[in-house]
Chain A
Amino acid sequence: AQKITQTQPGMFVQEKEAVTLDCTYDTSDPSYGLFWYKQPSSGEMIFLIYQGSYDQQNATEGRYSLNFQKARKSANLVISASQLGDSAMYFCASYRGSTLGRLYFGRGTQLTVWP
């Protein structure tokens, strides 16, 4: 099975600072995709950003960027200029080409942004 590892159960960052949330994945499949989702305390899952294994450039979406290091099999999420509303659980997830549709999730990182 695809394994997604998020080693930081909790992270703290001061408002307006940048923060990096770690994610490593384990696959030998050359084709795969990586996702980050945000889950605020209200419970819904919100898509943030996607990176395909063949994408040449790191994905960016507003204040979110993905630091994709293929050789290290890491796909860290960088949030710039943190806001209080960024406080939430963040999940890294991946599918691999041979198992389309089966998205594997990490255990998540709880981010707390303080004023």
Chain B
Amino acid sequence: DAGVIQSPRHEVTEMGQEVTLRCKPISGHNSLFWYRQTMMRGLELLIYFNNNVPIDDSGMPEDRFSAKMPNASFSTLKIQPSEPRDSAVYFCASSLLQAGELFFGEGSRLTVL
């Protein structure tokens, strides 16, 4: 069975560029989560969707970050413009229930120069 699929796995970009991270959740899962992991702040929830609807985006750092889920099988996290402090590993996770076990993707490692 396919797990959560994220792309790209690695992204190196220059400050000011737009970055788009993609996620395909596990088929049948109705909740999708975007997390960011850094050494300084650990794992932080950025936003989560339930049935494609954003439920809580209070973790989104600022207006430069946006996330969409146009359908049940695809989500994007966009950073525009990117800054060096956005460098982190971004995880997408999905679950069958809002309070169920999270299945994580392998993460997208972003480096902003």
Which residues of A does B touch, CB under 8 Å?
33, 35, 37, 43-47, 50, 91, 93, 95, 97, 99-108
Contacts and interface: CB of A to CB of B under 8 A. Distances in A.
B25 interface: no
Residue among A100, A101, A106, A107 with most chain B CB within 10 A: A101
- Most A Cβ at <10 Å: residue of B102, B103, B107, B109: B102
B99 A45 contact: no
A103 B45 contact: yes
Contacts of B93: 45
A35 B43 CA distance: 14
Size class of B's contact patch?
Answer: 20 to 34
Contacts of B18: none
A105 B43 contact: yes
B99 A91 contact: no
A45 B36 CA distance: 12
Contacts of B12: none
B58 to A, nearest CB: 9
Contacts of B45: 102-104
A103 B102 contact: yes
Interface stretch (B48-56, B64-72, B73-81): B48-56
